[in-house]
Structure 1
Amino acid sequence: MSVDKRLHDRKFVRTFFTTPTADSEKDDTAAMLKKSIQLRGMEAPDVWVPDNEDATAPNMRDEGAENIAEVVAEHGDEFPGEIHPRVVWHRDSPETRYKGFQHMLEIADPENGAVENIDGFVIPEVGDLDDWKKADEFITIVENEHGLEEGSLAMSVIIESGTAELEMGRLRDEIGKPSNNLERLFLLVDGEVDYTKDMRAITPTGELPEWHELRHNTSRAASAAGLIAVDGPFDDIRDVAGYRERMTANQAVGQIGIWSLTPGQVVEANKAPLPPKEGYWLIDEDGEEVELEDEGDVQAYTGDKLSLEEDGDEYVLTVGSDEHVLSHEELQEKLVDLTAYVPSLDDIVDSMEEFEAAKEAGQGAIAMTRATTVSIDGVEVEISSDRMWDEATYQALQTPITLFQDVYENRPDQHDDLADIYGEDVVERAMEVGN
């Protein structure tokens, strides 16, 4: 059996937020769990991960498992996201794997009152697929031991070794075989820190490598196997711009979700994949895209890497150290090449509605025109471009709307936030388009 569709109700996961399960320095060792489970709205993650592995000291993990069960039993009904505790596991350590199994038994025990709000478990440090299947079998035993429906607990894995990365390529053919319950797989999460250690990688500064290939491979494997890809932690929690840049790069390869270490990162990661409230224009200033300043009917460039002046019937456009002498028509073409428009949610809905109306009228393709006036050094130039929309274009550009609809359907606690951002009319239209 091969997989060509999502195996779980969630189509997207934007945020994967971890919390230590037991802190010996606090009077109440479960204090951080109790604080995290109270998060709501944009501060609450799509997936909350009470972390009984790296975030919790080894001598506190037994108490951590007890804390998870206690806190989720008391507050889990009201938590708006999914709850997937991370337990200890290691491909090379049977003792560690057994300890993780014991913790899963504790957390999922119906007598503790938490399992109704436990959606699955996160398994770190997996190796080859035989190791993944061991975790799957342990979860199956947990389900049978506690009288739970087989497959009711999802399994997510953290890719922290070259072996695990290679094994992702086999998932498509392994999921669905009668000898395993790997259909329970939900998230493939990158763990770049331990992956760097496993790869014996060295950088001059000691910073983590970018590992672009790992993120691409995880996204590709998730797509092929009907799963969801999530990037690993971004440790510099003060570098908001860097976090956004990472998420933008990830989204371009289909990895919508990212690990969040703080509620502030959760807010950023919840909002980042959603279309902007207002559309805006970008211009390429010598290899770097910057936003043009919206002055009503004119989009103005205010940087110092581009310059433009009129010289009789011609124009002199300077881009970095390159000078271009252009006619008016050539200048328009050049500026079309240098600029790009980032559509708002309203823009996307408008375009989709226009195409749907044309298709209903019997047209297979239509041209969408985007026009504006660009101002550089006070010289204004009107530009416009046409983009052909056919069914393939429509389907490809439906992804932001599908994401928005998935968020709206699964996170009612964010309805007010979305209405405040976009307006109720736009939200209503976005929920109708494409259906």
Structure 2
Amino acid sequence: MTTDPTARHYDREFVRTFFTSPTAVEGGDDSAKMLRSAARLRGMEAPDVWVPDNEDATAPSMREQGVENVVEVVSEHGADFPGEIHPRVVWHRDDPATRYAGFRQMLAMADPDGGAVDHLDGFVIPEVGDIDDWKKADEALTRVETEHGLDPGSLSMSVIIESGEAELAMGDIREEAGKPSNNLERLFLLVDGEVDYTKDMRGMTPTGELPPWPELRHNTSRGASAAGLIAVDGPFDDIRDVAGYRERMTENRAKGMTGIWSLTPGQVVEANTEPLPPASGYWLLDDGEGEGELRAEDERWVYDGDALGLEETGDGYVLRVDGREQELNADDLREELLRRAAYVPSMADMVDSMAEFEAAKEAGKGAIAMTRAATVEIDGVPVDIEADRMWDEATYQAAKTPIDLFQDVYEHRPDQHDALADRYGREVVERATELG
């Protein structure tokens, strides 16, 4: 067991999807039907981490049955499930009885006689408090491993950040993990739980909706980075708001938080796909009202909005922005459009750029210039723009993160290989797996 808190003891470096299912539902002939349905998910519909949820998603009166259902379904289907399996049990920082109940749930689910533990990767602990409470959860997992003869640290522990205490505790992980008195090296995911966090913080909004809590997401991402863990955002309740879900994921990735909670298989597909590099590159243009995607047409990138206008005069151009006119010569117009334009590279673009830099580095060059050119059309007027970007080792390492994600997905999710080949083409996929 390593004593370096930033050294991962598991293989995955990225988790895109954290999907919860109730362990038992009342009514009907099969209380485990939701578990069985989730266990059969494959490809882009299957999450990276599946969480049979014996806490909030399951009624208290059904949790005993939920434990039995987890054992039954995971023992039967766990070997074929393509992601990791981490049940959530009950726990609470202020309630010893609830913590003991959580221990008993883990003990039952991990019993080798039930056959599920061979397919369980760990457990999710909700409602944790300060770092001493994290140690209590770790000790409970250690007892489970000891009583069942499992290897120490073989069960990972993920925690849900649902209180100010837990948020502050993330700053203690580096110092505490690796001490001989605990097994906190087993930590895997730090997951935000904004609903209970809002309750704990006494947060209020005029509409009653949840505050966005960007600070919590930043702190969780920072805590995960500092301790060599993986950060996951909490649930996005409006399951019909696909655009909002995508926007939330875009904001999170800028903070280094790739993973997000998924409540439906549809959200799983979105969250599995959205972090991956796009199949086709495209240009964005800021027209003063926000960045919008330009339309590709005959090797040109066409602006279809109304906020920008462009007219060619005899000796230059007139650019209209926000009702104001600017008279510009050709060079000044190109500079203005370059300032407003941005390119979103495709997977193939990333692979080409990284391969070019790797070849240059192999030839002894420390930095090279890469050029990106396009023809932008506004009101039927075409303008050629061109930008150079210097690539050095730091640029390469920063640009490699999306490729690292792709390689991690490709390694750990063979069930998604066909979908990735359909998205990018097999030649691009093969080249991407060989980079670095």
The correspondence of residues 87-236 of structure 1 with structure 2, limited to 5 A, is 87-236=89-238
Q: Distance in 2 between matches of 1:38 and 1:179?
A: 40
Query: Distance in 2 between the 1:287 and 1:25 partners?
Result: 52
Equivalent residue for 2:304?
302
Match status 1:362 vs 2:339? no
- 1:327 aligns to 2:333 (yes or no): no
Structure 1: distance between partners of 2:267 and 2:293: 23
Where does residue 274 of structure 1 map in the other structure?
276
Determine if the alignment matches structure 1 residue 345 to structure 2 residue 342: no
Q: CA deviation at 1:175?
A: 1.1
TM-score, with normalisation over the residues of structure 1?
Answer: 0.98
Structure 1 gaps of 5+ residues are: none
- 3-state SS of 1:206 partner: coil
User: For 1:150-172, what per-residue CA distance to the aligned partner results, in whole angstroms no more than 9, with x for missing partners?
Assistant: 10000000000111111111111
Q: Distance in 2 between matches of 1:377 and 1:421?
A: 33
The residue matched to 2:373 in structure 1 has which SS?
strand
Q: Is the 8 A contact 1:7 1:227 kept in 2?
A: no
Aligned with 1:340: secondary structure? strand
Question: Deviations along 1:165-204, whole A, 9 cap, x unmatched?
Answer: 1111111111111111000000000000000111101101
Over residues 123-154 of structure 1, what are the superposed CA-to-partner deviations in whole Å (9 max), with x where a residue is unaligned? 00000000000000000000000000010000
Quote how far apart the aligned CAs of 1:310 are.
2.1
State, as a whole percentage, how many aligned pairs show the same letter.
71
Alignment-derived partner of residue 38 in structure 1: 40
- What's the counterpart of residue 50 of structure 1? 52
What is the CA distance between 1:2 and its match in structure 2? 5.2
Aligned positions of 1:394-433 closer than 5 A? 394-433=396-435
Match of 1:84 in 2: 86
Q: How far is 1:319 from its partner?
A: 2.5
In 2: Cα distance, 1:148 partner to 1:364 partner: 49
CA–CA separation in structure 2 for the residues paired with 1:155 and 1:420:
35
Q: Kindly state the Cα deviation for residue 287 of structure 1 after the two structures are TM-superposed.
A: 4.2
Match of 2:381 among 379, 382, 386: 379
Distance 1:18 1:201 in 2: 25
Quote the offset at 1:402 in angstroms.
0.6
User: 8 Å contact 1:2–1:173 — kept in the other structure?
Assistant: no
Contact 1:2 1:225 in 2 (8 A): no
Residue type at the aligned position of 1:346: A
Contact 1:49/1:86 (8 A) holds in 2: yes
Structure 2 SS opposite 1:142:
helix
Contact map agreement 2:289 2:307 (CA 8 A) in 1: no
Distance of 1:366 and 1:279 partners within structure 2: 22
**AA of the residue aligned to 2:26:** S
Structure 2: 5+ residue runs without aligned partners?
A: none
Kept in 1: contact 2:6–2:229 (CA 8 A): no
Deviation (angstroms), 1:322: 4.3
Question: Partner amino acid for 1:17?
Answer: F
Equivalent position of 1:243 in the other structure? 245
Counterpart of 2:270 in 1: which secondary structure?
Answer: helix
Give me the whole-angstrom Cα distance separating, in 1, the residues matched to 2:398 and 2:152: 35
In 1, Cα distance between equivalents of 2:11 and 2:298: 42
Distance 1:288 1:8 in 2: 41
Give the 3-state SS of the residue equivalent to 2:372 in structure 1.
strand
TM-score under structure 2 normalisation?
0.98
Distance 1:118 1:268 in 2: 25
For 1:284, the equivalent position in structure 2 comes to 286
Q: Distance in 2 between matches of 1:228 and 1:183?
A: 13
What secondary structure, in the 3-state scheme, does the structure 2 residue paired with 1:237 have? Answer: coil
